[in-house]
Amino acid sequence: MSIAKPASGLRADGSASISDSPRDPRDPREANPAVAYSRIAAPPASECAWCGHQFGGEDTRRPGRIRCAKCGVATTSPWPSDEQLGEAYAPWYRPEGGRFSGFGDKVLRRMRSTLANRLHRVLPEGPILDVGAGDGNLIAAFRRNGREAVGVDPYAAKNHPHVRAVELEEMTGAWSAVIFWHSLEHLRRPVQSLRHAAGLVAPGGVLVVAVPNATSLQARVFGDYWLALDLPRHLVHISPQALLSQIEALGFRVERVSYTRGGQVLFGWLHGLVVRLPGHPDLYDAIRRTEARQGAAGPAVRLYALAAAVVALPFALIGSAIEVAARSGGSIYVEARREE
Ligand SMILES: [Zn+2]
């Protein structure tokens, strides 16, 4: 078994491939697939994972994170160990049968298709690289359009035909687009990864990034209970300003910014309103399939969460409308083009 094999169909035209670095024989997944695997070293605990600023008295400490006074991005603190991340990404997190009950997974697939169809129309010819591709839904949607598409995800299932269990930094080549769909915040060195991705985008190609908006109205209203804090999986908590200035510093022209396209706006409000009720019912867990739940909540608690969500819906709609109108939505979506 080797990760050094080039991505099939891509090397032939020289456009893109996985670099020929030899496989590390100490790859911990070989011994224990549950252990988190990353070749990327964690940043020192004393510094901002976004900008490298040394934390001091001026930085804001909150439960589970420190907000950098210099760049405004918060770093998860204490930083999770490999073992903690391994548990956080254990098979329950993304079971083969899908994460959500009933039509939830269908809705997600439909949203991925809409995104892929639109990007397929606006992108120049060439292959697509999806960073943190997970179960490969976005890749599959591009491939239905006849577009070459490959994903990388260190936690990908083995033997996925188009999603490779490698780090972004192991990829080379020239790509029409590199997409971070809610994955940048999971990476140990997000700016280093953005820089590597920028080097993979062909002239005229596009960098696409969607992340939770850590300065959104819902993030501020729900604080430590905000859905998209998602500790310990989210290692950085990014502001639109920090993201946009970094992308521009890499030589990209920002063409589209959306506070709705990245999703998680209405659900962020619903989850936040429900979890503040007595007993802190977890709506996100309640809508997941049995095998995809982290908590051990019984049917009564799940029913309580779902009923509360119905009552909370009008308030969640109002909150969503206010934050989107104020360009402070629960997620930020950016498309930026590399100059020709
Ligand atoms: Zn910083």
163-164 sheet: strands from edge to edge: 163-164, 149-152, 128-131, 175-181, 201-212, 331-338, 252-258
Element (DSSP H or E) covering residue 217: helix 217-222
Instruction: Give the mean pLDDT of the chain.
Output: 85
- 158 against 340, higher pLDDT: 340
Residue 246 Cα, ligand 1 centroid: separation in angstroms?
A: 12
Residue 193 Cα, ligand 1 centroid: separation in angstroms?
A: 16
Q: Partners of 173 in the beta sheet?
A: 16
- 78 against 105, higher pLDDT: 78
76-90, 150-164, 221-235, 317-331: which has the minimum mean pLDDT?
A: 150-164
Residue 182 Cα, ligand 1 centroid: separation in angstroms?
A: 20
Residue 339 Cα, ligand 1 centroid: separation in angstroms?
A: 27
Residue 47 Cα, ligand 1 centroid: separation in angstroms?
A: 8
Give me the pLDDT at residue 32, please: 43
The answer, yes or no, to whether residue 6 has pLDDT greater than 50, is: no
Residue 177 Cα, ligand 1 centroid: separation in angstroms?
A: 27
Residue 68 Cα, ligand 1 centroid: separation in angstroms?
A: 5
Residue 181 Cα, ligand 1 centroid: separation in angstroms?
A: 22
Q: What are the backbone angles phi and psi of residue 105, rounded to the nearest 5°?
A: -65, -35
Neighbours of ion ligand 1 (CB under 5 A): 48, 50-51, 53, 68, 70-71
Return the top range by mean pLDDT from 8-22, 34-48, 115-129: 115-129
The answer, yes or no, to whether residue 3 has pLDDT greater than 50, is: no
pLDDT (tens digit, 9 = 90+) per residue, 103-144?
667 777 888 899 999 999 999 999 999 999 888 889 999 999
Give me the pLDDT at residue 45, please: 86
Q: Partners of 257 in the beta sheet?
A: 334
Give me the pLDDT at residue 263, please: 87
Residue 238 Cα, ligand 1 centroid: separation in angstroms?
A: 10
Name every residue whose Cβ is closer than 8 Å to that of residue 220 and which is 6 or more positions away in sequence. Answer: none
pTM above 0.75, yes or no: yes
Average pLDDT (16-24) is 40
pLDDT (tens digit, 9 = 90+) per residue, 227-286?
999 999 999 999 999 999 999 999 999 999 999 999 889 999 999 999 988 888 888 888
